[in-house]
Structure 1
Amino acid sequence: MLLNEHKSKILFERIGIPVPEGAAVFPGDEEGFSPDFPLPWFLKSQVLTGGRGKAGGILRIDAADDFAPTARKLFGLNIKGHAVPFIRVEPGVEIGREFYLSLTVSRERKCILLTVGRVGGVEIENLGKDNLLVQEIVLPNGPAPNQIRAAFFHLGLEKSQFQEFATLLVALFNGMLDRGLLMAEINPLIATKNNRFLALDGKVEIDDNFAELDPATEEYYQREHATDEENTARDAGLSFVKLPGWVGLMVNGAGLAMATMDLLNFSGLPASNFLDLGGGADQKRMETALALLFGDAKAKAIFINLFGGILSCEKVALAMQGALGGTSPEKPIVVRMSGKDSESGLRILKSLEVDNLHMVSNMREAMQILRSLRPADYPAVEYPTPMDRPLGDRPAASGYRSDAVFGIDRDTPILVQGITGREGQLHTRLMLEYGANVVAGVTPFKGGQEVLGVPVYDSIAEAVRDHRIGASIIFVPPRLAADAVAEAAFNEIPWAVCITEGITQHDMLATFERIRRSPTRVVGPNTPGIIVPGQTKIGILPPTPFSPGPVAVLSRSGTLTYEVADRLTAAGIGQSLCVGIGGDPFIGVSFVDMFEMIRNHEGTKAVVVLGEIGGQAEENLAEYVLRTGFDKPVVSFIAGQTAPPGKRLGHAGAILEKGGTIEGKLEAMSRAGFAVCPSLKAVAEITAKALK
């Protein structure tokens, strides 16, 4: 959640950061505005983009009579495509010096970065290499005294200002942790003529996971910055992003949604939106989703692409039946269902016998129907041709050796953390049905019970006295899940698989630092888990798509894993193991860690890597393969190649950073000899060639 300046300053003031007086003024209120502070006044447009000063979005007035016409002028601006919903009005202040100060969560460095600049203002990164001082703060610790001193001396402040500066910096850091901030930027931080500090401008980003857990955070969300569709989707818990095409898109699971969006865009059938249903598709959510797509004038047809994994296609079909209410949809709908309960789901939809509803069981049929629905007058939306690279030469042998082993099989004893909860019980039953060796469960204060014949303990410390545990799987609510990971690691459980999604980034950063010396391999969080087809599963992966064989599948997406495994199985290619490493910005086991293990895994003859936009996981893997001479063929696919920069698509980690390029990710993989697949269809075809 990105806050505008006004909301950022409200938050700053509450955590003890001095800010100027200020008032918000909305269109229609400008005539009666009469603040308590003196002239001159600065009128500042509130938009979620930079460069507003250069665009004329900040104006000074010296007479009260000038306020209303000046405010109306600002309300009429469009700044980089952003309308001005309201303005913040502040009195002028006498500026002695301007600085830069920020705290940001760094995905690359896995810590919080404290950055100070001797000069603040626009284009801070271009003000010379000596301007900025960047220091790493490792959670759960705060800034060390020496780091505060280093920042202070870098700014060249007077000795008398040290205590106030230190107090401000500590307050900013504590506020960052208390309010779940991913970024807290003050630019500029000023020293007034009497040497008092003041945050003259501010920008704050709140972790969406924190906002989900803390309803009080909602007051900082400014609905005026979003479209009506975006607000409706947000209220319903849907992930929704507007795009420039004409095919309305509804998919379950961010990875598959991104891959489907790419397929449409690359095929000349551009998507008009990205809509991820997630794991829930009840009638109310389906009604909201359809209303969004029906109400989008740009959407001329709708494509619903579902792969039933944990989500049942039959359940979605019933929800869709209720949402349509026995009438034909307002726009043509193409429904592709595959996976769990897909046959019964398609039967339900066919039984409706309504016009404008097309049911298919594969992507080829879906694309054919969508092409027949293409509007004749719709302007073309240009996307680059997807990268298509065959398997390259294997990296030269380097003499590199690894002692790491995968080691999970049918005999691995499994402990379930959160076994007495609804999800814990459901998936314990499904794992037992698959043949997994579940030997114990843990739920605090529920010790002594049994769930499905599995004994329950109050703590892992108690469970390990009676059982040898090879892996733990975590079904614990987000507020407690990071500590559950730490509990598994403190007890040195070899593997800890954290299914939970929605854990705050601060919590996972702190936990990974706390368990840094533990031998536990953490998978996730926000992972579908691990499956060794025909032997065991430690997760929520549906068994139907998977079959035993020679190919390891490593993925950042659950639904994409199921889709690709299903395609491989249909092509007669089984899997040696499948691991979802997780879709969050901060995860445990990485692609590189898994490659360390499977290079020694005799059952694995080739690897399929399913990546996504965002982060450096795939680039790091490519560098590892080149450096160590990994000699098994690697087939890769990246979802989200046509994503708009700066827009989060489902997963917290799935965001194409501004300035980052998908081309760089794909090129790095190609240089390492990976086959780069242009589509999901190509994955099975290229994998078959790699095995020959």
Structure 2
Amino acid sequence: MLLDEQASKRLFREAGVSVPDGECVEPGSEDGFRPSFPPPWYLKAQVLTGGRGKAGGVLRVDDARALPGRARELFAKDIRGHRPPYLLLEPAVDFVRECYVSFAVSRDRASLVLSVSPRGGVDVERSADVLTQVIPLPAGPAERNMRAAFFHLKVGKEYWPGFRELVLRLFDAVRQNSLLLAEINPLVLTRDGRWLALDGKAEIDDNAAALRPELERWYDPRHHAHDDVRARDEGMSFVKLGGWVGCMVNGAGLAMATMDLLNLAGLPAANFLDLGGAADSRRLDRALRLLFEGRDVRVVFINLFGGILSCEKVAQALADVLAGNEPAKPLVVRMAGNGASEGRRLLEGLNLHGLTLVEDMTQALAVLEGFGPRDLNPPRIEAGDGRAAQIADLSPVLAAALRGATSGVYARSFDFDAQTRILVQGITGKVAALHTRLMLGYGSRIVAGVTPFKGGLEIEGAPVYDCVREALRHHEIDASIVFVPAAMAADAVLEAAEAGIPWVVCITEGIPQQDMLATLPKLRRLGTRLIGPNTPGIIVPGRTKIGIMPTDPFTPGPVAIFSRSGTLTYEAAARLSAAGMGQALAVGIGGDPLIGLGFADCLAMVNDDARVKAVLVLGEIGGRAEEDLADYVSRTAFSKPMAAFIAGRTAPLGRRLGHAGAILEESSGGVAGKMQALSMAGIHLCPNLESIPRVMMGLLAAQRTGNVERARSASFQLHDG
């Protein structure tokens, strides 16, 4: 939840940080507006984008008579695609120095960082003189951190007490409001010796906001499109795009892959809509209304791969919504996976002319072509084409400060089999109990469960204990799977690690990022390996699974799949299995920004695994997971042939698409940077989902003939097709 300047400074003021006086100018109030402080003033457009100053969004007003005209000028201004819903008027401030200070969650460093620069303002990006320090949570900045930051600003020692107080209060704002970013630029030193936040920017963690209703007061719907607000109210991930094919998909990874498929085929997507794992009649009705009401939408493509979500249940919900009537706009439906056959039969029985069922995505494209003009110049995205991420909401100085190396690579194998002894944390919950039964049905060895204050119960034959240490007194445990609600999940992960359990699989999504920042360093010290959070888990086909993935797509074989997306994992496994290529294992590393094992960690664990003959990586836009993977392969000369598919290649820059991990941010080179890094490391690039079996078959054939070097060096360039 990104806040505009006025809201950010109001939040800072509540934490005790000094900010200028200010008053809001609403549209239509320009002529009668009478501020309580005299000119000169600065009039500022309130928009959720960077570069406002250089775009003319900040104007000086020396004469009160000029204020109405200047206000109308700003209200009419388009600032990087944003029109200000209101303006902020502040008195001019007389200062002697302007600096920069921020606290920010660094995804690259997996830590909170404190950054300062002795320069600030609109040209701060020209300064390379930035000091960045890692700040531990929950402890916060130590005296040495604050002293180092202060001395870096090169101001007189008499200003130290005020600066120290400012940093502590800004950190308090970060902790009290679950901020991912608290940036003051510029921070000025006034002539009377005060530190003043002349401009500010704050971002609240969406995961924390979902758990803390009091943070909702900072959300301002005036900055967002009507459709975005409606989708947010329904808990759906929705991004409006410029095409004419409406998309409704389950899972962010598959939704991004579908968007790419349409855009690259010249059938531009009108939106990104991740239905998620819930699709009752009410939710489906709201989603369809959102798409049908889009003026540019000519047809809606529903693309589902049933995993946890049953296609049959979605079909029934769709039948309930249509109630025997033709849809408002044509529907093209593709279903695969769990309940797909039953779902198709149910929809076929509706006998509606506006509903077309297709077998696969290729057939879907052929049908969709009949509903609108094909774009004869679809986007081309090739490795090394120079298309880099540009984050409007992230200043260059902050982007530079956030770059850094993440944790080291683990060097042990995935030693899971039918004898792996599993603990289920949160076992008495409805979802956990269901998946305990499903894991047992697959042959997984569930030895116990834990739910505080529920000790003595029995779930699916597994005894329930009040805490992990109590369970360990009665059972040997190799791995724990966490189904604990987001507010308590990080603590549950740490409980397992402190008890000495070597593996933890955290299914929970929506864990506040500050919770994970405090947990990950402790896991590294304890030696526990974490898969997730926000993961479907791990499966060793035919042996065991510790997770929530459906088992139908997976068959035993030679390919290891490492993925950031659940639905893409199921899609890829089903395609490989249909082509006769089973899987040695499949691991969902997790879709959140801050996770345990990364791609590079996973590679290290299969390098000496004789079961694994080739590796398939399913990546997404956002973060540096793919770049780190490529770096690891290049540094270690990883010996096994690899291929990669990246979803979200045609995504709008800087927009969140589904889960929190899917965002272009920090030092990620964007999709081109990822593709170039992977290609240069000798990793084959799959242009689409359909190409995965062909590419993997070629890699395995080369591996069997001993031509591994050729298999690693001949990389595929991404193209339209």
- Same fold (TM > 0.5): yes
Pairing 1:341–2:339 present: yes
Does 2:648 correspond to 1:640? yes
The 8 Å contact of residues 99 and 153 in structure 2, kept in 1 or not, is answered as yes
**2:397 — aligned with what?**
none
In structure 1, distance between residues paired with 2:497 and 2:418: 22
Quote the Cα distance in structure 1 between the aligned partners of 2:340 and 2:176: 45
Task: Please say if residues 556 and 582 of structure 2, whose CA atoms lie closer than 8 Å, have aligned partners that are also in contact.
Answer: yes
- Segment of structure 1 superposing worse, 326-335 or 24-33: 24-33
Q: How far off is 1:464 after superposition?
A: 0.5
In the alignment, structure 1 residue 384 sits paired with structure 2 residue 410:
no
Task: Supply the distance in 1 between the matched residues of 2:479 and 2:305 (Cα, whole angstroms).
Answer: 28
Question: Which whole-Å CA distance do the structure 2 matches of 1:165 and 1:402 have between them?
Answer: 41
Partner of 1:489: 497
Question: 1:490-520, CA deviations, whole angstroms, 9 ceiling, x for partnerless residues?
Answer: 1121210000000011110110112221121
Aligned to 1:690: 699
Assess, with a 3 A threshold, how the Cα gap between structure 1 residues 535 and 166 changes in structure 2: closer, same or farther: same
Question: 1:403 deviation in Å?
Answer: 6.1
Matches within 5 A, 1:336-415: 336-375=334-373, 382-385=378-381, 404-415=412-423
In structure 2, the partner of 1:155 is: 153
Unaligned runs of 5+ in 2: 385-408, 702-721
Q: Contact 2:643–2:684 (CA<8 Å) still a contact in 1? A: yes
1:396 corresponding residue in structure 2: none
* One-letter amino acid of the counterpart of residue 672, structure 1: A
Q: Which residue of 2 aligns with 1:393?
A: none
Q: Does 1:132 align with 2:141?
A: no
Cα distance in 2 for partners of 1:67, 1:622 equals: 55
Cα offset, 1:385, TM superposition = 4.7
Is 1:536 paired with 2:544?
A: yes
Query: SS of 1:286's equivalent?
Result: helix
Q: Is the 8 A contact 2:207 2:511 kept in 1?
A: yes
**Alignment partner, residue 634 of structure 2:** 626
Partner Cα distance (1:414, 1:574) in 2: 24
> d(CA) in 2 for partners of 1:626 and 1:58?
47
Q: Which amino acid aligns with 2:68?
A: A
Whole-Å separation in 1 of the counterparts to 2:497 and 2:71: 57
Alpha-carbon offset, residue 261 of structure 1: 0.8
Judged with a 3 Å threshold, the aligned counterparts in structure 2 of structure 1 residues 103 and 385 are, in CA distance, closer, same or farther, namely closer
Name the counterpart of 1:669.
Answer: 678
Report the equivalent of 1:442: 450
- The structure-2 alpha-carbon separation of the partners of 1:379 and 1:266, relative to structure 1 and needing over 3 Å to count, comes to closer
The partner residue of 1:555 within 563, 570, 578 is 563
In the alignment, the residues of structure 1 paired with residue 335 and residue 327 of structure 2 have an alpha-carbon distance, to the nearest angstrom, of 18
Aligned-partner Cα distance in 1 for 2:497–2:363: 48
* Gaps in structure 1 of 5+ consecutive residues: 389-400
Q: Whole-Å Cα distance in 2 between the matches of residues 29 and 322 of structure 1?
A: 48
- The residue type paired with residue 344 of structure 1 is E
Q: Is the 8 A contact 1:387 1:678 kept in 2?
A: no
Distance 1:402 1:333, change over 3 A: closer
CA displacement, residues 645-687 of structure 1 (integer Å, 9 cap, x when unaligned): 1011112111123872312211221222211111111111111
State whether residues 411 and 601 of structure 2, in contact with CA within 8 Å, keep that contact through their aligned partners in structure 1: no
Map residues 24-103 of structure 1 onto 2, 5 A cutoff.
Answer: 24-103=24-103
CA distance in structure 2 between the aligned counterparts of 1:524 and 1:160, rounded to whole angstroms = 48
For the 8 Å contact 1:270–1:381, the answer to whether it is kept is no
Matching of residue 655 in structure 1 with residue 651 in structure 2? no
Q: TM-score, normalised by structure 2?
A: 0.91
**Structure 1 CA distance for aligned equivalents of residues 413 and 133 of structure 2:** 36
Structure-2 separation of matches of 1:359 and 1:595: 39
Bigger mean CA deviation after superposition, 462-471 or 608-617: 608-617
| Structure 1 residue 166 displacement after superposition | 0.3
Q: Matches of residues 258-297 of structure 1 in structure 2 within 5 Å? A: 258-297=256-295
**Kept in 2: contact 1:96–1:195 (CA 8 A):** no
Structure 2 equivalent of residue 8 of structure 1:
8
Aligned residue in 2 for 1:318: 316
CA distance in 1 between partners of 2:418 and 2:262 (Å) = 40
2:306 counterpart of 1:308 = yes
Which residue identity lines up with residue 30 of structure 1 in the other structure? E
Q: Secondary structure at the match of 1:359?
A: strand
Partner deviation per Cα, 1:126-164 (whole Å, 9 max, x = no partner):
13x3x3222221323311211111111111222222111
Deviation at 1:53, TM superposition (A): 2.6
Residue identity opposite 2:541 in structure 1: P
- State the distance in 1 between where 2:364 and 2:304 align: 12
Number of residue pairs aligned between Structure 1 and Structure 2: 677
Change (3 A) 1:500 1:403: closer
TM-score with structure 1 length normalisation?
Answer: 0.95
Q: Percent identity?
A: 56
Q: Distance in 2 between matches of 1:29 and 1:44?
A: 15
The answer to which of 541-550 and 623-632 deviates more is 623-632
For 2:254, the equivalent position in structure 1 comes to 256
Structure 2 letter corresponding to 1:660: G
Tell me, yes or no, if the aligned pair for 2:482 and 2:507 is still in contact at 8 Å.
yes
User: What is the letter of the counterpart of residue 36 of structure 1?
Assistant: S
> Is the 1:308–1:342 Cα contact (8 Å) retained in structure 2?
yes
In the superposition, relative to structure 1, how do residues 67 and 325 fare at CA in structure 2: closer, same or farther (>3 Å)? farther
Name the aligned partner's letter for residue 289 of structure 2. Answer: A
Q: Which residue number corresponds to residue 237 of structure 1?
A: 235
| Separation in 2, partners of 1:344, 1:559 | 19
User: 1:433-512 maps to which residues of 2 (within 5 A)?
Assistant: 433-512=441-520
Distance 1:645 1:177 in 2: 29
**Counterpart contact for 1:20–1:198, Cα < 8 Å:** yes
- Give the match for residue 423 of structure 1: 431
In structure 2, what residue type is equivalent to 1:664? G
- Tell me which amino acid in the other structure corresponds to 1:40: P
User: C-alpha distance in 1, partners of 2:692/2:488?
Assistant: 38
| C-alpha separation in 2, matches of 1:40 and 1:285 | 52
Q: CA deviation at 1:452?
A: 1.4
Distance 1:63 1:664, change over 3 A: closer
